[in-house]
Amino acid sequence: MDRIRIRGGRPLNGAIRIGGAKNAALPLMAASLLTDETLALGNLPHVADIATMGELLVQLGVGVSMNGAGDGAPLANGGNEGRVLGLTAEALANRTAPYDLVRKMRASVLVLGPLLARAGRARVSLPGGCAIGPRPVDIHLRALEQLGAEIDLRDGYIEASAPNGLHGAQIAFPSVSVGATENLMMAASLAVGETTLTNAAREPEIQDLGKCLSAMGARIEGIGTDTIRVAGVARLRGAEHQVLPDRIETGTYAVAAAITGGDVELVETEMGLIEAVAEKLHDAGVEMTPTARGVRVRRAGNRVSGIDLVTEPYPGYPTDMQAQMMALMAIAEGASLITETIFENRFMHVPELSRMGANITVHGGSAMVRGVPVLTGAPVMATDLRASVSLLLAGLAARDETVVNRVYHLDRGYERVEEKLAACGADIERIRG
Ligand code: UD1
């Protein structure tokens, strides 16, 4: 298993290119199941979760093609080699998402809605427990039942069928779920009649999916609000779509600049995607300014100040940026109260940050972080993507050497993280094996 070794204490300076959003690309890839024509997705990130979704789609019978094998370098024609994925679900060979893939990546459940809508049947492994809490899929299933799906849970699988097709319905989600909103938008696009989704998620990734579905011929209104109306159509067509920039990658590198006291321009991204994070960083004393290409992040001199935050559905502060901000608050002047409301058990980074000298106490869903002047390097590991990257960020600021183990968690969602940081002056390397 690969590890990453960091010798901390060097301010980052330079530019970092932000890739396409993993969490937008995953539902967009699943949307290819809705049509027999080709869906071409540009600005695709090269991360392990995308490869896993590709593998799942291939098993379902989707033809997959990539525009060359490059790593995303710009081409003379304005494209990026290796970043445009063509997905063609001409005929579906299979309707099962097997346990070994769903276990690796919970977002595999996003094929459920499209398969049901297009093929009338789907068999998707239940995701089971995961490192950040139980994460059930009950909201997805109840809503699909309201569209007329029959659902049984058997042998660890969701067995879903729509013997009479899917029919529009009024669906009020009991709580905000990104994945359930996406699954239902896709299923309702091919249902007979109109569906209304209330208490829908509003994340930029949902908006990106809505934009792509509209380009495929879906009739969707209210994208980006908590009430989405979908008028079903008989068929959808192929489309070309550029995946929006990854706001969590943007926020993560913003914290990297801040935690090292650096000056970094994040390019091919937008300030508007990370307003809630930018606001907190600004309160902490980090300078963030929009540029022609993206966002400049700078912290000169003084320590950041402690700030309080509560994770919430978009447009609130994102749970996927909670661990990274905690790493920054670990070296802030003063105390910070960080409250997690989206997931249970999303503080696995706390004991590891504590091993690096952070002073953090957890009470239920809140963590009290009392800033210390300096962290000390240590061998650390984490059990999920964002927790892992928070340890890496802490390592960038820490005295001496930090080794982050189990880098495969990072590789699920961050493309060439060590290369991007090294190019800005970090002393960081991947140790293979
Ligand atoms: C997506 C993101 C993930 C992010 C999360 C919240 C992707 C691929 N992943 O995950 O990175 O952290 O949004 O912003 O886009 N819940 C239920 N029953 C359900 C569905 C969800 O109880 O049927 C609960 C979850 O356990 C969780 C909360 O609702 O506590 C929010 O989950 P949800 O918004 O569905 O997250 P995901 O779509 O899985």
Q: What is the 3-state secondary structure (H, E, C) of the chain?
A: CCEEEEECCCCCEEEEECCECHHHHHHHHHHHHHCCCEEEEECCCCCHHHHHHHHHHHHHCCEEEECCCCCCCECCCCCECCCCEEEECCCCCCCEECHHHHHHCHHHHHHHHHHHHHHCEEEEECCCCECCECCCCHHHHHHHHHCCCEEEEECCEEEEECCCCCECCEEECCCCCHHHHHHHHHHHHCCECEEEEECCCCCHHHHHHHHHHHHCCCEEECCCCCEEEEECCCCCCCEEEECCECHHHHHHHHHHHHHCCCEEEEECCCHHHHHHHHHHHHHHCCEEEECCCEEEEECCCCCCECCCEEECCCCCECHHHHHHHHHHHCCCECEEEEECCCCCCCCCHHHHHHHCCCEEEEECCEEEEECCCCCECCEEECCCHHHHHHHHHHHHHCECEEEEECCHHHHCCCCCHHHHHHCCCCEEEEECC
Closest-CA residue, ligand 1 atom 12, reads 320
Q: Which atom of ligand 1 is nearest to the CA of 203?
A: 14
Cβ–Cβ contacts within 10 Å for residue 7, how many?
17
Please name the residue that has the structure tokens 């998402």: 97
* 105 Cα–ligand 1 center, Å: 13
Residue in 178, 273, 384, 390 to alter for ligand 1 test, most ligand atoms within 8 A of Cβ: 178
Q: What is the pTM of this model?
A: 0.96
Quick check: 414 and 47 in contact, CB under 8 A?
A: yes
What is the C-alpha separation between 232 and 249, in angstroms, rounded? Answer: 34
Any atom of ligand 1 within 6 Å of the Cβ of 177: yes
* 201 Cα–ligand 1 center, Å: 10
Cβ–Cβ contacts within 10 Å for residue 90, how many?
12
Closest-CA residue, ligand 1 atom 4, reads 320
* 203 Cα–ligand 1 center, Å: 11
Please name the residue that has the structure tokens 């427990």: 129
- Residue 365: phi and psi, rounded to 5, are -90, 10
> What angle, 0 to 180 degrees and rounded to 10, lies between the N-to-C axes of helices 322-329 and 385-397?
20
Q: Which atom of ligand 1 is nearest to the CA of 314?
A: 14
Quick check: 389 and 410 in contact, CB under 8 A?
A: yes
pLDDT in tens, the chain (433 residues): 899 999 999 999 999 999 999 999 999 999 999 999 999 999 999 999 999 999 999 999 999 998 877 777 666 666 677 789 999 999 999 999 999 999 889 999 999 999 999 999 999 999 865 565 667 899 999 999 999 999 999 998 999 999 999 999 999 999 999 999 999 999 999 999 999 999 999 999 999 999 999 999 999 999 999 999 999 999 999 999 999 999 999 999 999 999 999 999 999 999 999 999 999 999 999 999 999 999 999 998 789 999 999 999 999 999 999 999 999 999 999 999 999 999 988 999 999 999 999 999 999 999 999 999 999 999 999 888 999 999 999 999 999 999 999 898 999 999 999 999 999 999 999 999 8
Any atom of ligand 1 within 6 Å of the Cβ of 141: no
- Residue 58: phi and psi, rounded to 5, are -60, -45
Q: Which atom of ligand 1 is nearest to the CA of 24?
A: 15
pLDDT at 73: 67
Residues forming beta bridges with residue 296, ordered by sequence position: 265, 289
